[in-house]
Amino acid sequence: MTPRLSIVVPFSNVERYIEACLDSLARQTFGDFEAILVDDGSKDGSGDAARDFCGRDPRFRLITQENQGPGPARNAGIAQAQGDYLAFADGDDLVPRHAYEIMIRSLDDTASQIAAGNARRFNNTSGVRQSWSHRLPFAINRPATDVYEHPRLALDRMVWNKVYRRTFWDQYKYEFPAMWYEDYPVSLRAYLDAVAVDCLAVPIYYWRERESGESITQHKLQYGNLADRVTSAEMVLDLVGRAPEARDLVHKHLTEIDLVTVVQAFAAATDEELEPLVELGRRLSSRLDPRIVAATQTFQRLEYEALEAGDADLLRRLAQFRAEGHPQVPARRHPARPWRYESQYPGLRDSRLSADLYRLPRAELEARVMTTEMEWTADALVLRGTAEIVHLDDPGMSLRMSLVCGRRSQRLKVTVTPDGFETRVPRSMLARLPGWASSAWISVELRSGLVRRRGHLGPGDLQYALGDRTAGRWIQPVRTPDGRLTLQVRSDVPEVTGAEVDGDRLVLTGRIPTRMTAPTLRLARSAGDVQVPLQRQRGQGMDDFVAEIALDDLIDVVNPDDPFLDRTVLVPRLHDGDDQILLLATGVRHGVLPPRGDRVISLTRSPAQYLNLAEGPVRVTADRVEVDGGRITVSGPRWAGVDYDQITWRRFLPNSDDGVDGPSRLTVDDTRWSAETDLADLAGGENWTLFAVSYAVQTDSFMLPALPPRAGAFALRSRSSILHLETD
């Protein structure tokens, strides 16, 4: 029988990854598919691995060709595809188990031509995180939309996060060009042609970012790669004129991403490569709207103007400046116009560019005040951090801060030190916030000489800030999308005040508002919600509740939502009529529970302190970090069946998937493990990640608010719940 879905998988030299990719396809809950694997001239063992997989699963078949690139490989697979729907996957990536079921169900419901979804990036050192390029196009569900109504779709460059109707594909005769970056022109043209597109916020694709830098996009500074990138951008610019609503977005995107990438190649270019690179860059810069470029930051405008002027020497200096970390250069007053400030970027008065281009607009001399530490004391929320006016180096600048709620502003006391600032938000002030208030934020004012800048306090690296109760209301510090540290005021909301394991059951206790008429507790996951009985004891204003969850009901080995970590996050919600309300974790302080066989259920928390549960494989987990002078000690629970022989800080070598391990002293007893490391032994590397043999150690999310901000010369940070030691 003809399958409903055809999945085309081009691959070349992905021996390390292709088995996992194909396994993620084989495990799809939508089983009526064929997978056409196209070996594009692999020189390693990936072709043999694919052939073996085809022998085990008749839905998979293999074709081979001489190396021609991913575009022709996709075309070869499409020519043999028979399904009513068409999808693509790359041989080093992963597809979540429910992805194709979700997209095809959406297309069946709406009759749209394309279903497209969100994506995650992943690797060993950084874990799983939101794909930057997909965060805005797929922030919310938008069924049956189009690129004219939702212009941000034009920023989605990829084809692998989509399912296309085959009749639609054939009607418009789409074909991939024989080049790198072949995705974007085809993807954009399809968006422009489609009458309706289903946008899905759920992640339906996991996009690998290799430590080795072997993938196409990570070879981005090679001339051949850059030439194809510019050609792709030119094709996109030709197309986007059909959608005036998306035109400015695309020009801005290509300016900030593709043009910057071309210029960055000058940092390592040989003298012989300079002239071809200049011509290549000018091809792109000449196509970009000068009005859009003029609105970018000064440094990017300099890169653009240097290309327009053909100044290879300046382009090299700008690229090297960016490669060195793009530090904030001090600004200085213009020698003849002291009311102006100009940047000290490379090329000022010694290049072909006008000195006026180096003038810093007022917007770039912005206040940047960031939180580095936070703690609740008996009488206040104490915040510490750093403050600067970007580009101005003035240790004597003054700082004012105020708590703002609506139109009300209350001055805070601020202590400025050589290392930053400290301010206290008194609990008495928080208690006086009006009853209607849902949030408050902290405004800042910085003065340096005649320069005065206003802004807001940002969260810095704080991801999992700890909230607390004041005057009967819960005050929760939260990072907001506009970059503020907001103090959310929560009252009359469901709370989990306790969690414990009783035999084979997880018992949650808490409080729910009396106003809720018939609440039911559900744990949401892709494979279907878990219904949980709720025992309720009436009170005044808030009712007590007890929920007992059978741990075995949470374990689902064959249905993990995350194909990389092999785990599923279950989100508890109280359903009351049409309302679905998250539960605030006010009384839970530890997240790691005893394992069930080779799986473990963990309590976790979101950055906004809502309770979640995670089900996944038993692995080394950290729940405590201590820094004592020049030593860092990480520890966690010991579980049967887990290998604790090697837990160490690892850094990956440049352009390699191989790493170097720092020496550590490992101690394991009947209940716990600990790894102690002298920070001096890690001085040779810039970024170390805590590893247990082959995977990064996950951390208890309830531990993160108390994470020490520094460890000697390193900043200690958690990214996707993975510990990193980074040099600033």
pLDDT along the chain (728 residues), means of 10: 95 95 97 97 96 97 95 97 98 96 97 97 90 95 97 97 98 96 97 98 93 51 89 97 96 95 92 94 95 93 94 94 80 79 91 91 92 95 94 88 96 92 97 93 93 94 91 94 94 94 94 92 89 90 93 88 93 93 94 88 94 94 94 95 93 79 94 96 88 92 89 90 89
Q: What is the CA radius of gyration of the chain?
A: 27
Cβ atoms within 10 Å, residue 709: 14
Determine the angle formed by the axes of helices 46-56 and 18-26, rounding to 10 degrees. 20
Euclidean distance between the first and the last CA atom of the chain, given in angstroms as a whole number = 59
Q: Where are the beta strands (DSSP E) in 338-419?
A: 341-342, 367-376, 380-389, 398-405, 408-412, 414-417
- Look up the CATH number of domain 5-50+62-217: 3.90.550.10
pLDDT at 335: 77
Q: What is the pTM of this model?
A: 0.92
* Strand 142-145 versus strand 197-208 pairing type: antiparallel
Report the alpha-carbon distance of residue 526 to residue 621 in Å, rounded. Answer: 25
Q: Where are the beta strands (DSSP E) in 4-95?
A: 5-11, 33-40, 60-65, 85-88
Which tokens sit at 185? Answer: 């022109």
* Strand 659-661 versus strand 647-652 pairing type: antiparallel
pLDDT at 333: 81
- Look up the CATH number of domain 495-617: 2.60.40
Alpha helices in 667-724 (DSSP H): none
pLDDT at 13: 94
Longest dimension (CA), the chain: 80
Which tokens sit at 605? Answer: 């928390």
Token pair 């800042």: residue? 444
Q: Are 676 and 683 in contact (CB under 8 A)?
A: no
680's CB contacts (< 8 A; 6+ apart) are 630, 712
Which tokens sit at 537? Answer: 């004891």
Q: Where are the beta strands (DSSP E) in 638-713?
A: 647-652, 659-661, 665-668, 672-678, 687-692, 695-696, 698-699, 710-711
For 398-428, give one letter per residue: b (16+ CB within 10 A) or e: ebebbbbbeeeeeebebeeeeebbebbbbbe
Token pair 């995350």: residue? 562
pLDDT at 218: 43
> Which CATH code, of 3.30.1380, 3.30.70, 2.60.40, 3.30.450, is assigned to 367-487?
2.60.40
pLDDT at 327: 65
State the amino acid at position 228 in one-letter form: D
Q: Are 625 and 703 in contact (CB under 8 A)?
A: yes
pLDDT at 338: 74
Closest CA to 359 of 380, 382, 336: 336
